[in-house]
Structure 1
Amino acid sequence: MSSVWSFHFPNMFLWRLGQGMTAGRSLCNSQRIFTVFVQVSVQRTYASKQSEKKKARAFVDWRRVSVEGGKGGNGCSAFIREFGRPFGGPGGGDGGSGGNIVIKANKRVKSLAKVKSIYKAENGSPGRNNSCHGKNASHTVIPVPVGTCIKENGNVVIDLERNGDAVVVAHGGLGGKGNQFFLSNEDKAPTLATAGESGEKCVLDLELRTIAHVGLVGFPNAGKSTLLRAISRAQPTVAAYPFTTLKPHVGIIQYEDFEQVAVADIPGLIRGAHLNKGLGHSFLRHIERCCFLLFVVDLSVREPWTQVDDLMYELEIYQSGLSSRPHAAVANKMDLPGTSEKLTLLQEHVDMPVIPISAKEGRDVGMVINHIRELYDRDMAQVANQKGETENQSHKKTVLLEW
Structure 2
Amino acid sequence: MVRCSCSFLRKYGNFMDNLRLFTKGGAGGMGYPRLGGEGGKGGDVWIVAKKRVNLKQIKDKYPQKRFVAGDGANSRISALKGEKGLDCEISAPVGIIVTDERGQIIGELNKEDDKILIAQGGLGGNLLSNFLPSKGQKRIIHLDLKLIADIGLVGFPNAGKSSLLSKISHAKPDIADYAFTTIRPQLGKIMYNDLKQVSVADLPGLIEGAHLNKGMGHKFLKHIERTKQLLFVVDITGFQLSSKTKFRSAFETVILLTKELELYKEDLMMKPSLLAVNKMDLPDAKDKFSELVKQLQNPKDFSHLFGKDEIPGKNMEFQHIIPISAQTGEGIEELKNCLRISLDEQSNQEKEKFSEKQLLNLRNSNLLYSDLSSKYANVEITEFH
Match status 1:343 vs 2:280: no
Q: What's the counterpart of residue 395 of structure 1?
A: 362
C-alpha distance in 2, partners of 1:282/1:276? 8
Q: Tell me, which stretches of 5 or more residues in structure 2 are unaligned?
A: 1-5, 239-247, 298-317, 371-385
Match status 1:71 vs 2:27: yes
Q: Is residue 53–residue 246 contact of structure 1 (8 Å, CA) maintained in 2?
A: no
The structure 2 residue matched to 1:59, chosen from 15, 24, 30, is 15
Q: Tell me, which stretches of 5 or more residues in structure 1 are unaligned?
A: 1-49, 78-89, 183-191
What letter matches 1:247 in structure 2? R
C-alpha distance in 1, partners of 2:78/2:170? 65
Matches within 5 A, 1:295-374: 295-301=232-238, 303-351=249-297, 352=318, 353-374=320-341
Specify the SS of the correspondent of 2:208: coil
Q: What's the counterpart of residue 140 of structure 2?
A: 203
Higher-Rg member (1/2): 1
Q: What's the counterpart of residue 251 of structure 1?
A: 188
Q: What's the counterpart of residue 108 of structure 1?
A: 52
| Deviation (angstroms), 1:100 | 0.5
State the Cα RMSD in Å.
Answer: 2.2
Q: What's the counterpart of residue 381 of structure 1?
A: 348
Q: What's the counterpart of residue 260 of structure 1?
A: 197
Q: Is residue 92–residue 130 contact of structure 1 (8 Å, CA) maintained in 2?
A: no
What letter matches 1:120 in structure 2? V
C-alpha distance in 2, partners of 1:213/1:66? 33
Answer with 133-142 or 371-380: which moved more: 133-142
Q: What's the counterpart of residue 98 of structure 2?
A: 150
Match status 1:287 vs 2:243: no
Answer with 192-201 or 307-316: which moved more: 192-201
Match status 1:272 vs 2:185: no
Deviations 1:188-226 (A, max 9, x none): xxxx95321011122222111111111110011110010
Q: Work out the number of aligned pairs and report it.
A: 330
Q: Is residue 280–residue 323 contact of structure 2 (8 Å, CA) maintained in 1?
A: yes
Q: What's the counterpart of residue 114 of structure 2?
A: 165
| Deviation (angstroms), 1:64 | 1.7
Deviations 1:39-98 (A, max 9, x none): xxxxxxxxxxx9565455443211122221111112234xxxxxxxxxxxx336322111
Answer with 259-268 or 337-346: which moved more: 337-346
C-alpha distance in 2, partners of 1:291/1:327? 9
Match status 1:98 vs 2:42: yes
C-alpha distance in 2, partners of 1:131/1:327? 63
Percent identity reads 40
Answer with 226-235 or 329-338: which moved more: 329-338
Q: What's the counterpart of residue 29 of structure 1?
A: none
Using structure 2 for the length normalisation, give the TM-score. Answer: 0.80
Matches within 5 A, 1:230-241: 230-241=167-178
